[in-house]
Structure 1
Amino acid sequence: MATAPKLVAQRTFYKRPLPPSCIAFTSKEGKRLFAKALAEDNLESYFLLAPQMILNSFEVDPQRKWKGGWRWYDQDMLDCCRPLTAVETDGLTLPEFACLARCNGLRATVTSPLLDSSGSAAQRAEGIAKFRDDLRAVSKGRGTMALSYSRKTLGQTGDGHFSPVGAFCEEDDMVLILDVARFKYPSYWIPVELAYDSMLPIDKATGQPRGYVVLEVAGAEPGSLNAPLSLTSVTLNKSSWASLHSSLSRLLLSTSKSTPDVSSLLLTLLSHLSALPTSPLSARPTASSALPPLLDSFSLTPLASLVPFASSPDPNSTLLHTLFILALLSPRSQLSALVPSPLLSSLQTLADQSLEHLPQLREEVDSATRQLGALGECCRSEESNGAACGCAGPPGQQDPIARVE
């Protein structure tokens, strides 16, 4: 009689048991805490986040298509700050997480539980008090919060991880973590002080503690269904932007004073951008039919008449570079301070005249300006913590959140 073959051992997993430090959201005790938080009016974050990811919960219009005609965020759109392939392999740091939020129209306020050399109890108490205040604010509907924390501190497997906060039960001093890796751990309640302590372990990628980000819609109104589709995107990441910013700074310092007019300034910058291996501003795949007509209209403007796009082997690329220069030298850009005021004023006047009847292209310039600002802020944040932008650690040593441990 034949015997059944032995089952081959499989290295696969379905969920992990929650450690004693965590109270399952669906348990009797978890439901009791939920009812208390509801009575305290501390569940606004939960109702905001339960149906979807943070960007979609804020009703931020991604200004690009997801599937069919629908505009909706998914993880494949989060390509600012670092390439998606790198994120999938190495994860994100806290500054990079904030950068992604800012690139997509949110205001991001980062708080790290920095300790002094003595690690004093007074400083810890002060940090926890601020953490409670921020938890109370977001749980009552003033933005939402995402934690960057160490799973090890909670007694879970793995280490660095991001998850949003769903609720705050003040009476029991408990916080609800909506774990984004539901295949591994469900949502759970933990003590506020334990949540704070889980942010203290050093992130190997930055050499600093982790922390939390409070996210809010940057404008007064959320995204509108009438908002235009974004046709272009900045292809830089924080490292390549830092390199380009440095080379452009040197170029402007060496040539601005000897540059007689706007045309000369544009030609100098266009030559520099054209020599890059990849265009810093490119058309989205979904914009293949919509962008060229707009660029044709742009080619007839006073500003475009100053650049040799017609003789270029790729006229549309030259026009996109021109739009990118407007983002580079916007009033919010550090680079604009390196251009003599009369020259900068003339460029701005020409830009206003040229884009007055092309609101879609003005939106593209504003979007590129916002992305460059987010990249720069990410770099400054890392450098202020002693890490060179783009060099926070060799490949494979950054905090793994995409490949959740």
Structure 2
Amino acid sequence: MFRYSLMRAVGRLSQPEWIVAVMAAALAACAPVPPASSQAVVPPAVIRPAVQPAFQPDTEASGRPADGPLAVPPNLVALTQPAGEKRLTSATSNQSYWPLSQYFETQRNQAYCSVATSVMALNALGIRRPQSTLYPDFPFFSQEDFFHGIDPQVANAAKVSQEGMTLDQLSSALKAFPVEVRKYHAADLSLGQFRDLVRATTSHSDRFVLLNFRRVEIGETGGGHWSPLAAYDSASDSALLLDVARYKYPAVWVPVAQLYAAALAVDSVSGISRGIVIIGKRPG
């Protein structure tokens, strides 16, 4: 009976709504449903730089439930909620979502957020892929092989597994791949410029925003983190964050002002703000 009802409901949806419904169900299936009781969440901080380490392990999170991810803060909207799905289908800047969602990754360890974010974007770009140790017959960008062509002095698997990567470090590492790389420290951007970059980039399917931010500024538990932004909704002035730590938080819509505050947070390793890296196909 459930299957019959589901098929009837899907049949009444338009093609974009049908695709979103299927993707939302898939994303929800990747992580346990949060428990009914939610933990108290500290309201997002005001917009100002704050010093934090480049990476803070998720195991430092307080009050983490033993049987599922953390509760979504009330200031955020999960993609799998009806309001989250509606934002995606109505957003004019949602073209980054479709290729990124096809290659959505979960970081393979708690410091590999930059690596998971990168390989998701590299695969989504549709550029020539390298040989894969995981799938010998099928070229594919993978977290396991990410560092094979990167200068160890720039970044290496052993160190990144412990410390993660800074904004400058990841932008340098990505230059080893056949992509165009643009780096922006949030301290060098106004809120308006930050918003314009997110809106313009997410309206394309051949370029992506990789966000380096601190979780506490958006009301989440944890420290420094990387994830891609997949869409921008002007009505709510929010962007869709595809969190690669899917064991911890689902994909959520975040107010752009709070994303900007989170990107302004100073990385104690580099001593400067976090920000965004935009990668895309190289021109002709």
Q: TM-score surpassing 0.5?
A: yes
Q: Secondary structure at the match of 2:86?
A: helix
Q: Secondary structure at the match of 1:167?
A: strand
Kept in 2: contact 1:78–1:100 (CA 8 A): no
In the alignment, what sits opposite 1:103?
A: 176
Distance, in Å, in 2 between the alignment partners of 1:76 and 1:171 is 39
In the alignment, what sits opposite 2:201?
A: 138
Q: Secondary structure at the match of 2:231?
A: strand
Distance, in Å, in 2 between the alignment partners of 1:174 and 1:26 is 16
| Within-5 A mapping of 1:238-387 | none
State the 1:210 CA deviation. Answer: 0.3
Q: 1 or 2 for the larger relative contact order (CA 8 Å, sep ≥6)?
A: 2
1:70 correspondence with 2:134: no
Instruction: Give the letter for the 2:198 counterpart.
Output: L
Kept in 2: contact 1:149–1:210 (CA 8 A): yes
Distance, in Å, in 1 between the alignment partners of 2:176 and 2:221 is 32
Residues 1:88 and 1:11: Cα distance change in structure 2 (over 3 Å): farther
1:127 correspondence with 2:194: no
State the 1:219 CA deviation. Answer: 4.6
5+ residue gaps, structure 2, are 1-63, 104-119
Instruction: Give the letter for the 2:126 counterpart.
Output: E
Instruction: Give the letter for the 1:131 counterpart.
Output: F
Aligned-pair identity (%): 26
Residues 1:140 and 1:87: Cα distance change in structure 2 (over 3 Å): same
In the alignment, what sits opposite 1:15?
A: 69
Deviation digits for residues 178-228 of structure 1 (CA, Å, limit 9, x no counterpart):
0011111000001111111111111111111100011111253xxxxxxxx
More strand by share: 2
Kept in 1: contact 2:155–2:173 (CA 8 A): no
1:30 correspondence with 2:30: no
Q: Secondary structure at the match of 1:110?
A: strand
Runs (4+) off by over 6 Å: none
Kept in 1: contact 2:213–2:226 (CA 8 A): yes
The CA RMSD over aligned residues, in Å, is: 1.9
Kept in 2: contact 1:132–1:192 (CA 8 A): yes
Residues 1:162 and 1:13: Cα distance change in structure 2 (over 3 Å): farther
In the alignment, what sits opposite 1:403?
A: none
Kept in 1: contact 2:132–2:142 (CA 8 A): no
Distance, in Å, in 2 between the alignment partners of 1:218 and 1:205 is 30
| Within-5 A mapping of 1:43-58 | 43-52=94-103, 53-58=120-125
State the 1:19 CA deviation. Answer: 1.1
Q: Secondary structure at the match of 1:50?
A: helix
Distance, in Å, in 2 between the alignment partners of 1:108 and 1:206 is 19
TM, length-normalised to structure 1: 0.47
Kept in 2: contact 1:62–1:104 (CA 8 A): no
More helix by share: 1
Deviation digits for residues 299-350 of structure 1 (CA, Å, limit 9, x no counterpart):
xxxxxxxxxxxxxxxxxxxxxxxxxxxxxxxxxxxxxxxxxxxxxxxxxxxx
